[in-house]
Amino acid sequence: MDKNLPVFVKINDYKDVLDVVDVMKQKLKETTQTLDKIKQLKAEEDKELQEWEKNVTEISRRLAFIDSAFFENE
């Protein structure tokens, strides 16, 4: 038998299928929006983490300076 045979769907089921497809479209839209939001939040988090790293580097640098100064005095 040929695989490319036409598929026939009952008219009642067809309406249901259309409804389901509509709902799926809506859900997909929502999902895409949520994903975008998550991406945005991730970007914010990355930015904050970068800021954090920068600050920690700065603190370590300053501390090293102070430490070296005190060590010189010793």
Site for other proteins (CB under 8 A): how many residues? 39
Token reading at 33: 């929006």
Whether 68 contacts 61, CB under 8 Å: no
Q: In whole angstroms, how close is the CB of 30 to other proteins at the nearest point?
A: 5
Show the DSSP H helices in the chain as ranges: 11-73
Rg (CA), the chain: 30
Q: Which residue has the tokens 């945005």?
A: 40
- The verdict on 68 binding other proteins (CB under 8 A) reads no
Query: Which residues of the shown chain bind other proteins in the complex (CB under 8 A)?
Result: 1, 3, 7-9, 13-14, 16-17, 20-21, 23-24, 27-28, 30-31, 34-35, 37-38, 41-42, 44-45, 48-49, 51-52, 55-56, 58-59, 62-63, 65-66, 69, 73
